[in-house]
């Protein structure tokens, strides 16, 4: 059974083998399609830029003192901020297309019977990404913003600028969205034989250290945000161990 599967894969790889410049050309076209998808999302969401920004700023508004407001400190700042809002919204809308292009690029390295899982892959990868974004918005932001606003005094008032706020929000949402893809990444690494559940268990203590280092790099310099990113990552690492075991069994079958 294994020999037949191996021969099947070798035959498929031989059929799909392309010179390096053809792979680069394919990658270029995949990237172009991703850019087009983001551009379409940008155009579709630009008309709602103010409502979207209002949604993004709501976690801060809830914890700010009454009669507080955001500011912009240069004339084009509000305009540029709204452009970034539309771009970020377009990127979120384009995630299924982006994951589809990723799948099409790695598909030649998969078994023929594995290539039919394109829809589950797109669905799971998109849900994990949106799950990370939602976790940042609904869990991390309220705690993080309350912590930052706690430094106000009678003589010091917080006056958040649009540009800085949006930059922080986009960075955190994107960081959480990408890190929540860990089980999906580990699944494919297990399929390629690069990781195993036993190896992940042995390296758990190193993973814990790396997780907290990553959390410190990707989040603002406060313990709350770092912990709120590190805890889900550690849980996802444990989920990844189960996922790699499942991927290994499927490969053997």
pLDDT, tens digit (0-9, with 9 covering 90-100), for 97-112 = 999 998 888 777 666 7
The 3-state secondary structure of 33-53 reads HHHHHHHHHHHHHHCCHHHHH
Rounded to whole angstroms, the Cα distance separating 178 from 242 reads 20
33 or 112, higher pLDDT: 33
Does residue 136 sit in helix, strand or coil?
helix
| Mean pLDDT value across residues 74-103 | 94
Residues 173, 136 contacting (CB under 8 angstroms): yes
Distance CA 227, CA 168 (A): 17
168: its two tokens: 């922080």
Backbone angles phi, psi at 71, to 5 degrees: -130, 165
- What pLDDT, on the 0 to 100 scale, is given for residue 9? 47
Q: What tokens were used for 44?
A: 């579709």
With a cut of 80, say whether residue 11 has pLDDT above it: no
* Domain ranges, ordered by start, for the chain: 2-158, 181-253
Q: How many CB atoms lie within 10 A of CB 1?
A: 7
Residues in a beta bridge with 71: 161
Residue 143 has pLDDT above 80, yes or no: yes
- The mean pLDDT of the chain is 84
Q: How far does CA 138 lie from the centroid of its chain?
A: 16
Binning pLDDT at 50, 70 and 90, where does residue 18 land?
A: low
pTM: 0.80
Residue 252 has pLDDT above 70, yes or no: no
């Amino acid at each position: 059974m294994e020999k037949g599967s191996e021969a099947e894969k070798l035959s498929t790889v031989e059929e799909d083998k392309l010179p390096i410049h053809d792979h680069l050309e394919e990658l270029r076209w995949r990237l172009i399609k991703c850019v087009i998808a983001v551009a379409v999302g940008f155009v579709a969401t630009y008309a709602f830029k103010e409502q979207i920004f209002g949604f993004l700023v709501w976690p801060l508004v809830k914890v700010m003192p009454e009669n507080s407001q955001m500011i912009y400190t240069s004339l084009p700042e509000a305009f540029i901020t709204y452009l970034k809002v539309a771009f970020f919204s377009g990127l979120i809308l384009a995630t299924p297309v982006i994951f589809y292009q990723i799948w099409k690029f790695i598909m030649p390295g998969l078994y023929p019977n594995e290539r039919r899982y394109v829809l589950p892959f797109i669905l799971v990868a998109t849900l994990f990404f949106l799950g990370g974004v939602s976790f940042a918005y609904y869990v991390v932001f309220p705690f993080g913003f309350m912590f930052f606003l706690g430094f106000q005094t009678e003589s010091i008032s917080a006056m958040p600028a649009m540009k800085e706020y949006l930059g922080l929000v986009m960075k955190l949402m994107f960081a959480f969205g990408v890190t929540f893809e860990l089980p999906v990444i580990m699944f494919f690494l297990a399929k390629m034989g690069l990781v195993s559940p036993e190896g992940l268990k042995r390296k758990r203590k190193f993973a814990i250290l790396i997780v907290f280092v990553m959390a410190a790099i990707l989040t603002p310099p406060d313990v709350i945000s770092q912990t709120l990113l590190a805890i889900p990552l550690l849980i996802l690492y444990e989920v990844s161990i189960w996922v790699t075991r499942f991927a290994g069994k499927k490969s053997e079958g």
